[in-house]
Structure 1
Amino acid sequence: MKVLSAISVAIGLLAGSLAQAAPAQFHVEKDARVVDLGLAPQSEVRSVTLSLAVKNMAALEAYAASTVDPSSPNYHKFLTPTQFAATYGQDATAVAQVVNFLQASGLTVTKVYANNLLITVRGTNAQLASVFGSPIHTFQSLGQTYEAPVSAGSVPTQLAGLVKGVHGLSARPRLRSNAVKQPNATASALLQATSAADPSAATAPGRYTTADLAKQYNITPLYSAGITGKGKTIGIATLAGYTPADVFAYWKSVGLNVNTNRITDILVDGGPPGGAAADGADETTLDIEQSGGVAPDANIRVYMAPNTDNGFIDMFAAAVNDNIVDTLSVSWGASEVFYAQADYDAFHAVFLQAAVQGIPVIASSGDSGAFDINRNYAYPGCTTTLTVDFPAADPLVLAAGGTTLPVTLRFNAGGTVTVPTERAWGWDYLRDWAVAHLGQSTYYSALFPVGGGGGVSVDFARPSYQSNLAGVANSSAGQSLICSGAALGTTGGYTDLLDQPANFAGRNLPDVSLNADPESGYGLLYQGSWIYGYGGTSFVAPQLNGIFTLIASGKNGRVGLPHPQLYSAFKAQGYGAGSPFRPVSAGTNLYYSSKASFNPATGLGALDVANLARTLGVSL
């Protein structure tokens, strides 16, 4: 049955609640692992993206909310990019003013996006330094060499009020894939895994396919009703290439007969370097296999960009302004503390555009449990610090969390570990075994922090769809990232890299969760061969992408901004009969406990997809 009556109440305050807080700045200049190699080649040509101010921001946020409010005259009246630009983008005169200034400064304008909010330009390092106010140097950190300004760049005074930010002056690749494999041989590789709940299952944990996912989360009734994604298009945003033969072989191996022309590749800003063999190609491969396996008759558009700040935002902007995809997911992210307010503003505007065009944006919540930053700054060299992943932290992005399905593990070093029921994904359940068989230091070096991302944003205020919701948390006290000299490559004492506000009423994530633990995870067909024991919230984001594509196909229309619809349904139904949500009431994501209410480990819980489809208006 439909449960939408409470949406109008839930979204009445949405517009005001989407405002961001002042970001907690990470003190990158204090990281001694970053070495300044001096002035970068002055004649080298690079690209950057300028973001322009949104007109009528409050009206835009209100309109986004109204498109999923059944009581509003704007319900499901999704806009085109042209309509968006006319109302919320800068007008032609303002755009021309920016373009003329950039060209007069010697820069080449390469693209003005259809939303009239983003402009890409090319210029030499010398020109970029002159226009944006900081010399550009070459830096090295942890084996990576990149170029970046020596100080924060600035918007020229001639463009003040029109241009909000400049993105890509730093070319440091900070985004990472949220895919995880089973523990390696050092941590005693997995010998055998059998399901505690269903030992006779045809597929073993660690080898699951999209067919197993459909059975686990009740997707099958949609297929029985003939809903397979036909007529809809999946959008994948990624920072690496892939080999098409792998994804088609995967679909064939799981019994799917798909259209051989279903995939279209779009290279943004020249695309990622390295092709199908580059780092992260496994991520792109699994994104396509999983989303396309869940919605086998949908088309797929793969937007691929370089791993830079401007590449990341241009990738989303390209997909949203093309307005062909009905859903869009990404499985790359970085700790929210790495971003500045101007970055947040630019991304948030693109996500708002997606919302008013009816396109759900879905992102993996990270694979470091509640300690997202500690994937970059490992414990015990650095203190554990509660942090969340971006872009999942943005209140307009559906944050995909992770669980562990029932499983019994048998290890080379002896002993077994059993997970008896679906729980929050956190490898704390392996701690006792690992310490006993391998030692505490190996546990921390190989198994910590690993788990489904979740927690409280300190950069985005709590959205109204999470107001008056039991289990929502404020940020914890005492959250500073302090690293030893040894961890930062110096002989000095301790350095404080980050201090976060306590008791901040921030956006909680994830929103919903599915199986993500590699120990109860999936098979990946990659570079012509099957690899088993894969997982991460990287799988959950494209799976949710496929699920919402199915629902859009069943509705014969776009789903729109999902959050108000999901949270309204939860507030009305909880975990009762016919609810789209299943409680996950065991385990932690290394800090937050999962329970039969909203929580920052598994969000609203796991999904019953057939019930979700009915709730969102699909007849089954």
Structure 2
Amino acid sequence: MASSKPKLVPVVGSELPAQFTAKAVGRANAIELITVTVKVRAKNDKGSADGLHALAMQAVKNRSHVSREEFGAAHGADPADLKKVEDYARACNLNVVESCTAKRRVVLAGKVSDFESAFGVTLERFEHPGGTFRSYTSSVHVPPDLEPIVEAVLGLSNRPAAKPHFQARRRANPLAGMFASADAPQPLTPLQVAQLYDFPTGLDGSGQSIAIIELGGGFTMADLNAYFTGLGLPTPSVSAVSVLGASNTPVNDPNSADGEVMLDIEVAGAVAPQSKIVVYFAPNTTQGFVTAITNAAHDTVNAPSVISISWGGPESTWRASERTAMTNAIRDAGLMGVTVTVASGDNGSADGLTDRRSHVDFPASSPFALACGGTRLEGTLASISEEVVWNDGPNSATGGGVSDSFPQPAYQKNAHVPKSVNPGHFAGRGVPDVAGNADPESGYEVRVDGLNTVIGGTSAVAPLWAGLIALLNQSLGKPVGFLNPLLYSQIATGGGLHDVTVGNNGSFKAGKGWDPCTGLGSPDGAKILSLLGGTNGAATVSHDGASKKAAAAGAAVG
């Protein structure tokens, strides 16, 4: 009976985000069938928002992680909490598709009208440049006994969640050659970048699996085979995993998300050619994004030890509960020994918004992400001649700044992170943590949809660091996992990073030590490995030999 339905209360953080300007154009189709994911808080988090945060930090200190098989019992949801969600859903005429302790989620299916009633929302259609999406302008509501255990409700909205962070190199003016400076930056292959950053030699990623999250686009093996043959490398093992019905769907346009997908695979694959690369294709929604990270972290078949993410959006465009669900998914990955590298954005300190405030990109601003900023890199063979902050203008510059949502994590306490420049001057998490070559002018030679081209952006830095971490894990014989606390202590103090001190990204200037443009700096790969207790080693396919050959030959691609 309708009168027996409990009074609903808001889910904390589910209110409309600060940046939401879409115009409603009508009600959503009441009989449309949709799928919704209810994320349930970990049992260890009850009563303390930082319950698992301390455990993640301890895992770093002890270099110990929980196995995927053990995670559910150690840090998953309480089965009783899952059952409460299931019982309520069934009472609201919704079907339970999945209930998982380890992944802390209950997946539901049903009609829009039944979800509206169950969660106390009105679902509408909104206009955006690519068409329309479904969303709501209120908070999500649940019964009072569910409010303490529900972390987020994802999927009521299918608003596009993120954009890829890559930029193509500007096509040169045909007349510019006679006037061009001899010092102008030149494109590089991933192998040349790896050599300039002294990535460990004699290692090729054997035995490692790299997960790549994609929210659109696709790849073809013909392009990958041509590209890696041009580099003198074997084509890595590359496979696609479907998430929520999305799939490997190249659209044959190098300027589309295909450019992101191919850049990610080719950079990571060149650095660690014997690694297994698994691409998780998900819908471009918060539900798809969080589900892809969760599925990759818990994948017992492919067992990735690093996840690379080159998609994101301004922190203020996310509902707080969505940010919580995402950052806790990344935290869970760290507890299982999985490093998550994330691009920090390509639109400078404003992150593409026009409200005259500074914004950091999310999920790079998650305190459990290894946020990757961008530089312009110049050098010859194994010698860096110059490295400065990437800034070719307000919408072609590395992202970075100070979070207005996440407090400063313990590992940044001695990094002299300034307070936010925005009103309120929040003492937030500083972004990025590290950097790497990203300027499209010194960008990466890649192959996309049959075309040899040059692409930059912080999108390239996330897979570059992911490839490096695969090499580190190969040498060490175990995953480095959540790397940030070690970066800010023994790696930075031990000289494992090149401090970038020249340039700005808009509101912020580079300087000695950590800064909101390039973080702690770009990698000295061999030094990082040494500081972590590893050594270079002999590999079946020598990355060192291939990189020297490619560097000396100029590395023509394809």
Amino acid at match of 1:65: M
Contact 1:24/1:458 (CA < 8 Å) preserved in 2? Answer: no
Which of 245, 249, 253 is 1:270 aligned to? 245
Question: What is the match of residue 298 of structure 2?
Answer: 321
Unpaired runs of at least 5, structure 1: 1-20, 70-74, 408-418, 428-446, 480-500, 574-578
Aligned residue pair count: 513
Q: Does 1:475 align with 2:397?
A: no
Which of 396, 400, 403 is 1:450 aligned to? 396
C-alpha deviation, 1:423, in angstroms: 0.5
Distance verdict in 2 for CA 1:617–1:541, change over 3 Å: same
C-alpha deviation, 1:137, in angstroms: 1.4
* 1:400-411 matches, cutoff 5 A: 400-406=372-378
Question: In the TM superposition, what whole-angstrom CA distance separates every residue of 1:305-343 from its partner, at most 9, and x where no partner exists?
Answer: 000110010000100111400100100001011122211
Question: In the TM superposition, what whole-angstrom CA distance separates every residue of 1:5-46 from its partner, at most 9, and x where no partner exists?
Answer: xxxxxxxxxxxxxxxx989974455x3xx2222112111111
Question: What is the match of residue 463 of structure 1?
Answer: 409
Deviates more, 1:277-286 or 1:287-296: 277-286
Which of 358, 370, 388 is 1:398 aligned to? 370
Amino acid at match of 1:359: V
Distance verdict in 2 for CA 1:178–1:611, change over 3 Å: same
Contact 1:182/1:190 (CA < 8 Å) preserved in 2? Answer: no
Which of 157, 167, 191 is 1:211 aligned to? 191
Amino acid at match of 2:388: R
Which of 217, 221, 225 is 1:244 aligned to? 221
SS of the aligned residue for 1:51 comes to strand
Q: Does 1:357 align with 2:329?
A: no
TM-score, length of structure 1 as denominator length? 0.78
Contact 1:24/1:337 (CA < 8 Å) preserved in 2? Answer: no
C-alpha deviation, 1:266, in angstroms: 0.7
Q: Does 1:47 align with 2:47?
A: no
CA distance in 1, matches of 2:522, 2:448: 28
C-alpha deviation, 1:178, in angstroms: 0.1
C-alpha deviation, 1:115, in angstroms: 1.2
SS of the aligned residue for 1:291 comes to helix
Q: Does 1:387 align with 2:328?
A: no
C-alpha deviation, 1:448, in angstroms: 2.8
CA distance in 2, matches of 1:106, 1:23: 23
Question: In the TM superposition, what whole-angstrom CA distance separates every residue of 1:61-90 from its partner, at most 9, and x where no partner exists?
Answer: 222112221xxxxx2331123422213222
Question: In the TM superposition, what whole-angstrom CA distance separates every residue of 1:70-113 from its partner, at most 9, and x where no partner exists?
Answer: xxxxx233112342221322232322222232123222222233
Contact 1:174/1:307 (CA < 8 Å) preserved in 2? Answer: yes
Unpaired runs of at least 5, structure 2: 1-11, 537-558
Deviates more, 1:332-341 or 1:360-369: 332-341
Which of 472, 488, 494 is 1:551 aligned to? 472
Amino acid at match of 2:446: L
* 1:2-17 matches, cutoff 5 A: none
Distance verdict in 2 for CA 1:384–1:538, change over 3 Å: same
Which of 323, 327, 333 is 1:348 aligned to? 327
Q: Does 1:564 align with 2:556?
A: no
Question: What is the match of residue 120 of structure 2?
Answer: 133
Question: What is the match of residue 592 of structure 1?
Answer: 508
Distance verdict in 2 for CA 1:60–1:211, change over 3 Å: same
C-alpha deviation, 1:611, in angstroms: 0.4
Distance verdict in 2 for CA 1:190–1:281, change over 3 Å: farther
Percent of residue pairs bearing the same amino acid type: 32
Q: Does 1:85 align with 2:110?
A: no
Contact 1:242/1:276 (CA < 8 Å) preserved in 2? Answer: no
Question: In the TM superposition, what whole-angstrom CA distance separates every residue of 1:181-210 from its partner, at most 9, and x where no partner exists?
Answer: 23468x99975898967x9xxxx713x111
C-alpha deviation, 1:294, in angstroms: 0.5
Distance verdict in 2 for CA 1:524–1:56, change over 3 Å: same
Question: What is the match of residue 388 of structure 2?
Answer: 423
Contact 2:14/2:322 (CA < 8 Å) preserved in 1? Answer: no
Amino acid at match of 1:463: P
SS of the aligned residue for 1:126 comes to helix
* 1:137-176 matches, cutoff 5 A: 137-176=124-163
Distance verdict in 2 for CA 1:24–1:122, change over 3 Å: closer
Question: What is the match of residue 509 of structure 1?
Answer: 431
C-alpha deviation, 1:421, in angstroms: 2.6
Contact 1:136/1:149 (CA < 8 Å) preserved in 2? Answer: yes
SS of the aligned residue for 1:554 comes to helix
TM-score, length of structure 2 as denominator length? 0.86
SS of the aligned residue for 1:502 comes to coil
* 1:93-112 matches, cutoff 5 A: 93-112=80-99
C-alpha deviation, 1:455, in angstroms: 0.4
